[in-house]
Amino acid sequence: MPPVTPLKAASNNPRPENAAAVAYAMQPDEPLFCFSPQALTDRANVFLNGFPGLVTFAVKSNPSEHVVRTLAKAGLTHWDVASVHEMKLVAGISPDAKFHYHNPVKSRREIEDAYKTYGCRRFVVDCREELQKIVDIVGPSDEIEIAVRFVLPRDRGSSAHDFSTKFGAPEHICVELLKKVVELGYRPMLTFHPGSQSRDPQTYVRHIEAAARIAKTADVKVFALNVGGGFPANYMLSTAPEPSVFFRIIDEAVAKFFGSNTPKLECEPGRGLVANCMSALTRVKLVCTDGDDIFINDGVYGALMEYMQAPELKPPFRVIRDGKVIHGPVKSWKVFGPTCDPLDVLPHNLDILEGLREGDYIEFGTLGAYGVSTLTKFNGYGEHDVVEVEKVFTV
């Protein structure tokens, strides 16, 4: 057995190079996330330098303090939040943070907390009753920005998750909502979400065209257009163009459809920003050599939940033993998670090292988005430390 170095106690140690070094030094028996601040900073710069407008971060995609702190340091000032809890988290790290409360459904207590405690001046609506709540709580104010969220019928297969079924109003309702926002003296804008892992840039074009049509029909000059998240990352079964391709096509579409009435642009990426900054380091608990079953210490109730919901988001993986990545002949293994629930099994058999042993580690890459977010406490599991490394494994 390799020597165990107390990595966490020695905080002035240089950062371990990668998950293999972490496995060697800590020999963790519980799953943990490896996080590369450098990978996230590099990706943040791609968005900050390339997107033709304001870049915000969808906190729900990775609400870990490490990520929020790194993004604040990289220069992010505005945060797309789904709840007051997320405002509290971000404000604790970045006291000057500005919030876009872009969850279309908020309780009255949440609206009041957001407005009074966290200084939030941006709310999204997709129905009249939600707008009325804001009127009742905030009253007249020319500081309040209301983003009207619209939805288009979905292109089948254009994104990994269908975002068109829950939120967003059809165009004719949005026309009425925009007029109402102006009548109330609030600042009108439009927003959409094209669906997570939107691989086709034309999806954004269709939405930008619709936004221009809605504003024109309502005869309202929108001061901003938020093009949502949806920017894709590369997974084993789902690859996508670079962000720069999306940025150029979005910029051209806004100029084409809005002409001289160009609104300020905003985006609020989650996945596209954070997917590649974290991996999950898991450990093999049991190898049943009579069959093809293996059991690892993390699963679909932990860091791998999204993989079960959307099997096309299959993460890359590799085996680590004695601090080294091991290559060799592979075998198709059925991979079970640690809980006593039969659903806790990965959606595909994985081709992993044939000679896999109890105690080996498996690093799953590209789990920076919707990995930390969806951990459950099912069966008492769910705690995941975050360990900073230089590099994480990606496709």
- The footprint of ligand PLP (CB under 6 A) covers 58, 60-61, 80, 102, 193, 196, 228-231, 268-272, 369
User: What is the closest distance, in whole angstroms, from the C-beta atom of residue 283 to ligand PLP in the complex?
Assistant: 28
User: What is the closest distance, in whole angstroms, from the C-beta atom of residue 236 to ligand PLP in the complex?
Assistant: 18
Burial class (CB in 10 A: 0-12, 13-18, 19+), 119: middle
User: What is the closest distance, in whole angstroms, from the C-beta atom of residue 185 to ligand PLP in the complex?
Assistant: 25
* Closer residue to ligand PLP (CB): 18 or 103: 103
User: What is the closest distance, in whole angstroms, from the C-beta atom of residue 117 to ligand PLP in the complex?
Assistant: 21
Q: Which H or E run includes 7?
A: none
Tell me which DSSP letter residue 286 carries.
E
* Closer residue to ligand PLP (CB): 83 or 141: 83
Please count the CA atoms within 13 angstroms of the CA of 97 that sit on its side-chain side.
28
Quickly list DSSP for 290-355. Answer: TTTEEEES--TTTTTHHHHH-GGGPPPEEEEETTEEE---EEEEEEE-SSS-TT-B-SS-EEEETT
How many Å apart are CA 139 and CA 137, to the nearest integer?
6
CB 364 within 8 A of CB 316: yes
* Closer residue to ligand PLP (CB): 121 or 271: 271
* Closer residue to ligand PLP (CB): 83 or 217: 83
Which stretches does DSSP call E strand in the chain? 32-35, 54-55, 57-58, 78-81, 98-101, 122-125, 145-149, 187-191, 224-226, 264-267, 278-288, 293-296, 317-321, 324-326, 330-336, 350-353, 361-364, 385-388
User: What is the closest distance, in whole angstroms, from the C-beta atom of residue 381 to ligand PLP in the complex?
Assistant: 24
Q: Which residue has the tokens 């998750």?
A: 161
* Closer residue to ligand PLP (CB): 275 or 350: 275
Name the residue with the smallest CB distance to ligand PLP.
229
Which residue, among 44, 167, 53, has the nearest Cα to 105 in the 3D structure? 167
CB 241 within 8 A of CB 8: no
User: What is the closest distance, in whole angstroms, from the C-beta atom of residue 354 to ligand PLP in the complex?
Assistant: 36
Q: Which residue has the tokens 């994480």?
A: 392
* Closer residue to ligand PLP (CB): 243 or 365: 243
User: What is the closest distance, in whole angstroms, from the C-beta atom of residue 349 to ligand PLP in the complex?
Assistant: 28
Which residue, among 389, 354, 302, 309, has the nearest Cα to 24 in the 3D structure? 389
* Closer residue to ligand PLP (CB): 22 or 81: 81
User: What is the closest distance, in whole angstroms, from the C-beta atom of residue 344 to ligand PLP in the complex?
Assistant: 24
* Closer residue to ligand PLP (CB): 37 or 269: 269
